[in-house]
Amino acid sequence: MGLRNRNADAGTEQGCADDLSWLVGTYWYVPTDYLPAMQQVNIAQPQITQVNDQTLWYFTQYSNGYLIGQCAASIDGGDFEYQSIVGSVAPDGSVCLSFTPVGGISLHPVQGSVSVASFIVGQGKLTQHQGQPAFLMQMTGGNGAYNLTHWAYMMQTKPGDESWTTLPGTDGSQSVEEVFADWGQRFRHHALQCP
């Protein structure tokens, strides 16, 4: 499961994360009950609205408490936006993940400037929900003009699960596999543009 009671070999430490290499190759999504998020647009009269945020994770590497992976997020069923994940899981199960837009650096040789996209930090813990492994996460990201705040249980999905082919909060036209196939195409496109 990845969590164990270390009471016998580590003093009073409870529920510590042990080898989490089982996370490599796993996919995670937001179930329907946890889709609602709050979006703020800072105009003359700030607008705060509830939106649906479907976020998918795919973990590709794990070592010594560090996770690397891919993220795809869709607001209110719109196109997925892609981010790289780099983060950590501490021995007590607490989690901190950074989400950086794919192609987040734009070079402007004519203008002599560099544009860097904002990144998002999510914090939470590796836990259990409804008897299954889960990430209980909170995040806020954006800038002075726009931001999004969301908390959710991230649950595992795999081929054969209903959530694998019919993602909550989307029009259901893409499976999880197809969403991440698009991530790979975008990543390759951005990699080819970098000097």
Please give the backbone phi and psi of residue 22, each rounded to the nearest 5 degrees, phi first. -65, -15
Q: Write the pLDDT tens digit of every residue in 30-58.
A: 999 999 999 999 888 889 999 999 999 99
Q: pTM higher than 0.85, yes or no?
A: no
Buried b / exposed e over 53-65, threshold 16 CB at 10 Å, is: bbbbbbbeebeee
Q: Write the pLDDT tens digit of every residue in 147-191.
A: 899 999 999 999 999 999 999 999 988 999 999 997 665 544 333
pLDDT at 13: 35
pLDDT at 112: 52
pLDDT at 17: 52
Residue tagged 């694998």 (tokens)? 164
For the chain, the straight-line distance linking the first and the last C-alpha, in angstroms and rounded, comes to: 43
